[in-house]
Structure 1
Amino acid sequence: MLMYNKQKKKKRETVTIKGNRILISVAFLGSAGPIRFVAYEGDLVANVIDTALKCYAREGRLPVLGSDFNDFLFYCPMVGPEALSPWEAIGSLGARNFMLCEKPEEEEKKKVEEEDSGRSSFPINGARKRSFRAWINKSFSLKVTTH
C-alpha cells in the first residue's frame, strides 16, 4: 500500500510539471483537413511537430510527408507570419490552431546543385512519368461531342 501511494504521488508531480493539457489542431499544407490531438502546455514545438507527423502517417493521409521534424516549419496564424522556434513551449503562445509546412529551401538547394553539375532540372524518369500521366489523363477524359 505504501509503495502504491509513492507511485501515485510521482505521477501527479510529472503532470503538474508539464502543465495543463490542451487540444491542438494542426493543418498540413496540401492535406484535406487538420489533425487534432492532446498535448501538454509545456511540450516543445519540436515534440508537437513529431507527434503531428506520426498521427498524419498513422492515418495514411496524402501527400506523404517525411518523419524528420527538422524538415518542417510550424506556423501559428494568430501569432504572426514567422515560423515558431522548435525549442519554445507550445502553451506559451496561447493559441490552439497551427499550420505545418515543408521547408522550401531544400528544393531550391537541389535545383541549384543540379544546374551547377550540368544536368537538366528534370530527370528522365520524371519526364516519362509526366508524359505518361498526360497520356492517361488524355485517354480517360470523357469528351462528348454534340452535333
Structure 2
Amino acid sequence: MSTSRDGGRDRAGQGGPPPLRPFGLVLHHDGRFTHEGQPIRNRRLREHFDRSVEYLPEERKYVVRLRHFRGEVEVEEAGFFVRAVDLDRGEVQLSDGTREPLEVATLTESGIDGALLCRVKRGLVAEGLPARFDHGAQAELLQSIEVAGEGLVLGVGGRRVPVPLS
C-alpha cells in the first residue's frame, strides 16, 4: 500500500487522508495569517506558512503543511503573493518560493484596496490562481509602466506589452 506526502494512506487504499476541514487559519488580503481570530506573531511560523501554501485542484482548497499535518486555509483574496518582479525574464517570484511567468494581460486591481493582482499556477488550474503583489513588487512594476498613446505599456522580456489597467 502506498503512502501519500502527508503520511496518510493512498486514497485507493482502505483509509485515505482525513477530509480537509477549516481549522481556523485565515490568510488575509494583506498577507497576515490569523488563527481563530488571533494574529500569528511567530515570524518563523509565518514564513513557513507563506512557503507551504498549496492549492489542491481536486478539492479546490488551499492548505498549509506543517510536518505531517495538512490543514485547510481560508483565503480572503489570494493564496500567493508576488514578492519580486524580474521584467527582463518576464517572471514573478511568489511567496511559496516558486517563479511564474508574469502574464501582464491578467493584471487587475483588488476590489478590497486597489493592490495589483495577477494570475499564476496555470499548471494547477487552467484559469490560474490569483497572486497579490506586495508593496515592493507593486512599486517596482508600477515604476516600469509607461504611457503609450492612449494606453499603458510595460517592458517585459524586451517587448512592450499593453497593460490592462487604467
User: Which structure: larger Rg?
Assistant: 1
TM over 0.5: no
Give the TM-score taking structure 1 as reference length: 0.25
More relative contact order in 1 or in 2 (CA 8 Å, sep 6+)? Answer: 1
Give the TM-score taking structure 2 as reference length: 0.23
Which one has a larger percent strand, Structure 1 or Structure 2?
2
Which one has a larger percent helix, Structure 1 or Structure 2?
1
